Amino acid sequence: MENHYCPGAVCDKKISSAADRVKYVLLAIVLFFSMPQRTYAQNTYVIDPIQTMTLQQCIDYAMVHQPALNQSKINISIAKVTNAINLSGWLPQVSASGSLTHYFELPTAFEANPGGQPIPVPSGINDVATPQINATQTLFNPALIYAANSAPLYVEQAKQVTDSTKINLVSSVSKAFYSLLQTIEQVDVLKADTTELRRSVTDAYHQYVGGIVDETDYEEATITLNNTLTQLKQATENIVPQYAALRQVMGYQAENPSFNISYDTAKMIRDIDIDTAAQLQYEKRIEFQQLATAKKLQEQLVNYYRLAFLPTVNGFYNYTHEFENNKFSDMFTTAYPYSSIGLSFTLPIFTGFSRLENIRKAKLQQQLLDWSEVELKSEIATEYTTALANYKSNLYSFHVLQQNVALAQRVYYVVELQYKQGIVAYLNVITAQSNLITSETGYINALFQTLASKIDLEKAMGAITY
């Protein structure tokens, strides 16, 4: 608050008539509007002289370092890797196998005997080694078709979770930033008011010592100063935890050096308006987009169960390099390779009606999502209506309190001049000072409440960009 002063020509002149009082008030008003007014722009609250960050820089920092956001980004990579795993079944599957067998007794085979009973004879070789390579290629598989169709939707779903985290992060950082600035501005206001009140206490004390005013004037001034000092102490102490809250939502590590916050309140006031006539569009809300993706995934699941009766068809190739010998030491001297190629299929004929029940279950889950959409639209509409009402109310209060600050400054200046001329009691000065402090504090609160409600309204409209 600028120090108020009284021109000597006015102070020395005793105002005794109504006409003089009118001239005096007019002159005071002219002097008031010619005085420099308090501004609330381009302030920097210094916490540590290392680094300065604006609101946008705080948001940019959070977009890189905030743990929850980085976790959601990792989940996008996890979704892609999971899709790669699920789709790997379309690629050829190659495996190697083998066995090493020693027969203590050879299997029995029967040779034909034209004249009588078949003759039993030992069959096979004592030692057999059969290394084998098997290759299969899926040609048609309903489960793999479902995985292929769902893969981009799972990635989109993970990206939407990240987008939702970003939107919430912009909102949280902005509101934490505004909450901190609200306290800082209150500290600035109370510091200026404290300076003014100290001067008033000093003046009242000297006037009391000089026998000009009663002792109660000095005591009233002291009471007002003490009350303001108490408010200043509370606001100053609140800065530290609010600063810590801002660092937390940013993901700013405690071991990192502190930073200052830089802001331009005049620019904030210029950007405080938003188009309240814009129509609410549900599809802009990230929650609505996430629900739409969930419905697409559910539709893919229904289609999968519908096609589950189709066969799974695979191509295969087997190669066996067999070694046989009755003497183990000579077993690998001679090989008897053979190979084969062909097609195989698996056709589910009866599964206990599980496929039909799965279809029924998936369709019921679709109905759940349909009702979730109805509920979500209702929630979004309520959130938007509430945010719009809060914004309009706070904006109106901001404009009214903005006018009150100018009026309270003028009233305080005039009343102070009147008190010095002996026209009014000191109680009027105390009242004018209290009204000025209340108006200034209310104006600061209304400003940042409006900015916070603007963030809520933009979020409700799906208009937050990142």
pLDDT in tens for each of the 466 residues of the chain? Answer: 333 333 333 333 333 333 343 333 333 333 333 333 433 333 444 444 458 899 999 999 999 999 999 999 999 999 999 999 999 999 999 999 999 999 988 888 888 888 778 888 888 888 999 999 999 999 999 999 999 999 999 999 999 999 999 999 999 999 999 999 999 999 998 898 888 888 888 877 887 787 776 778 778 888 888 998 999 999 999 999 999 999 999 999 877 888 888 888 888 899 899 999 889 999 999 999 999 999 999 999 999 999 999 999 999 999 999 999 888 888 888 899 999 999 999 999 998 999 999 999 999 999 999 999 999 999 999 999 999 999 999 999 999 999 999 999 999 899 988 887 878 877 788 888 888 888 999 999 999 999 999 999 999 999 998 8
Instruction: Convert 197-218 to b/e letters by CB count within 10 Å (16 or more is b).
Output: beebbebbbebbeeeebeeebb
Paired sense of beta strands 132-140 and 335-346, if any: unpaired
69 within 8 A of 161, measured Cβ to Cβ: no
Structure confidence at residue 20 (pLDDT): 43
pLDDT, residue 219, reads 83
**Residue 323: beta bridge partners?**
129, 335
- Predicted confidence at residue 213, as pLDDT, reads 67
List CB contacts of 244: < 8 A, sequence separation 6 or more: none
Distance CA 203, CA 11 (A): 14
Q: Report CA torsion sign: 34, 38, 43, 48.
A: positive
Cα 87 versus chain centre, distance: 33
pLDDT confidence of residue 50 = 56
CATH number for the domain formed by residue range(s) 8-66+141-309+352-461: 1.20.1600.10
Q: Provide the 3-class DSSP secondary structure of residue 103.
A: coil
User: Can you say how many angstroms the Cα of residue 82 is from the centroid of all Cα atoms in its chain?
Assistant: 25
Tokens 């540590």, residue located = 48
Amino acid at 110: F
User: Which long-range CB contacts under 8 A does 59-63 form with residues at least 24 apart?
Assistant: 59/169, 59/170, 59/173, 59/174, 59/466, 61/250, 61/251, 61/252, 62/169, 62/173, 62/249, 62/250, 62/251, 63/166, 63/169, 63/466
Annotation: CATH topology of 91-140+312-346: Outer membrane efflux proteins (OEP) (2.20.200)
Q: How far apart are the first and last CA of the chain?
A: 38
> Do residues 310 and 356 touch, judged by C-beta distance below 8 A?
no
Q: What is the DSSP letter of 259?
A: -
Alpha-carbon distances, residue 183 vs 226, 236, 448 (angstroms) = 19, 8, 10
Give the pLDDT score at 166.
Answer: 96
Q: Tokens for 412, please give them.
A: 């305080």
Dihedral sign computed on CA atoms, order 348, 350, 356, 362: negative
Three-state DSSP state, 82: helix
Cα torsion for 110, 111, 114, 118, to the nearest 10°?
A: -20
Sign, CA dihedral 319-323-324-328, equals negative
Q: How many residues does the chain have?
A: 466
Q: Which residue has the tokens 């939707």?
A: 153
Report whether 187 contacts 269 (CB < 8 A).
Answer: no
Q: Which two tokens stand for residue 57?
A: 């820089």
- Looking at residue 453, what is its pLDDT? 96
Q: Is the dihedral of CA 52, 54, 59, 64 positive or negative?
A: negative
34-49 core/surface letters (b: 16 or more CB in 10 A; e: else)? eeeeeebeeeebebee
Q: What is the pLDDT of residue 28?
A: 37
What residues does each domain of the chain span? 8-66+141-309+352-461, 91-140+312-346
Q: Which SS3 state, helix, strand or coil, does residue 201 take?
A: helix
Residue 63 CB neighbours (<10 A): 18
Location of structure tokens 């909450």: 179
For the chain, the farthest-separated pair of C-alpha atoms sits apart, in whole angstroms, at 158
- Of 149, 158, 156, 159, the closest CA to residue 87 belongs to 149
Q: How far is CA 313 from CA 89, 115, 134, 237, in A?
A: 12, 49, 16, 73
